Amino acid sequence: MYEDLKNKVAVITGGSKGIGSAIAKRFGKEHMRVVINFNSGDADAKKTAAEVKENGGEAIIVKADVSTEDGSQALLKAAIANFGSCDVWVNNAGMEIKSPTTELSLADWNKVISVNQTGVFLGSKAALTYFKQTNKHGNIINMSSVHEQIPWPTFASYAAAKGGIKLFTQSIAMEYAKDGIRVNSIGPGAINTPINAEKFADQAQYDQTVAMVPMDRIGKPEEVAAAAAWLASTESSYVTGITLFVDGGMTLYPAFKDGKG
């Protein structure tokens, strides 16, 4: 546990399932107060909120589309109205659409960019504005991916969005460092969440993914949440503008793992 996180207020976008839900529950263990954002169907959000409370934290759920400015503003307002503050903002919401690039519609390209990249901009803008107005040494964590570094054919829109997050994170980290605001990204590898459910249900695809991981296993959402807790805490007080890969070594060129090449 990180003592300094106790009673801190966090907004987590896409916080109802997968990695976002694991971060919410971990923040609950840190006795934090959490705004859990969801975009459709409130069942998962309610379940996550109940677990945050069981873990010793506080939680509310807020429906909002992160690809709209109204959405990020609604989340900030909910944090201030319910918990009186906002200290940590986690831009976690994301989605992917698989398609050969020649067949990818402009509408689908825009959808992927809107949620994964514009959503990170709008969330960061809301948080930064609030941190500046209140002279708060706030903390932003952006959920990137190993695909900010590793190209991903047939998922070019997703890789473009995550590559964009990398330089957006570095740019705003530098822009607001003098204000005591820290901005970092997390780059998960292959993690067992709903986004991968269909793929991992197929044994051949599951095995193929594991083969890309030097540590020979798929990651757990809790392992990503642990990185988020560390980045949110003052234990990482001199860290800004990085991407912390949580990927079992996936970014280490695993094709070379048996000494080939």
Choosing from 7, 77, 80, 95, the residue that interacts with ligand NAD (CB under 6 A) is: 95
Q: What residues contact residue 44 under an 8 Å CB cut-off, 6+ apart?
A: 16, 17, 21, 38
Q: How far is the CB of 92 from ligand NAD (least distance, A)?
A: 5
Q: How far is the CB of 163 from ligand NAD (least distance, A)?
A: 12
Choosing from 94, 163, 164, 248, the residue that interacts with ligand NAD (CB under 6 A) is: 94
Angle at 241 between CA 240 and CA 246, to 5 degrees: 95
Q: How far is the CB of 84 from ligand NAD (least distance, A)?
A: 24
Choosing from 7, 31, 39, 113, the residue that interacts with ligand NAD (CB under 6 A) is: 39
Q: Which of 2, 130, 158, 253 is catalytic?
A: 158
**148 touches ligand NAD by CB under 6 A:** no
Residue closer to ligand NAD by CB (options 13, 55) is 13
* Interface with ligand NAD in residues 214-253 (CB under 6 A): none
Q: What residues contact residue 92 under an 8 Å CB cut-off, 6+ apart?
A: 12, 13, 14, 15, 19, 20, 23, 141, 143
**193 touches ligand NAD by CB under 6 A:** yes
Residue closer to ligand NAD by CB (options 40, 203) is 40
Residue 134, exposed/middle/buried by CB under 10 A (0-12, 13-18, 19+)? Answer: exposed
Q: How far is the CB of 40 from ligand NAD (least distance, A)?
A: 6
Residue corresponding to tokens 């207020």:
9
Stretch that binds ligand NAD, among 64-72, 129-137, 200-208, 249-257 (CB under 6 A): 64-72
Q: Which amino acid is at 10?
A: A
Task: Decide: 184 and 177 in contact? Cβ < 8 Å.
Answer: no
Choosing from 122, 143, 160, 231, the residue that interacts with ligand NAD (CB under 6 A) is: 143
Give whole-number Cα distances, 248 to 81, 163, 209, 223, 261, in Å: 40, 20, 12, 10, 21
Nearest to 143 by CA among 158, 131, 129: 158
Give whole-number Cα distances, 122 to 127, 144, 224, in Å: 9, 15, 23
Give whole-number Cα distances, 112 to 13, 36, 98, in Å: 15, 21, 10
Residue closer to ligand NAD by CB (options 50, 177) is 50
Q: How far is the CB of 186 from ligand NAD (least distance, A)?
A: 8
Beta bridge partners of 88: 10, 139
Is residue 158 part of the annotated active site? The answer reads yes
Choosing from 28, 164, 188, 248, the residue that interacts with ligand NAD (CB under 6 A) is: 188
Count of residues for the chain?
A: 261
Residue closer to ligand NAD by CB (options 31, 63) is 63
- Residues with active-site annotation: 158
Binding residues (CB under 6 A) for ligand NAD: these are: 13-14, 16-20, 37-39, 65-67, 92-95, 115, 143, 145, 188, 190-191, 193-196
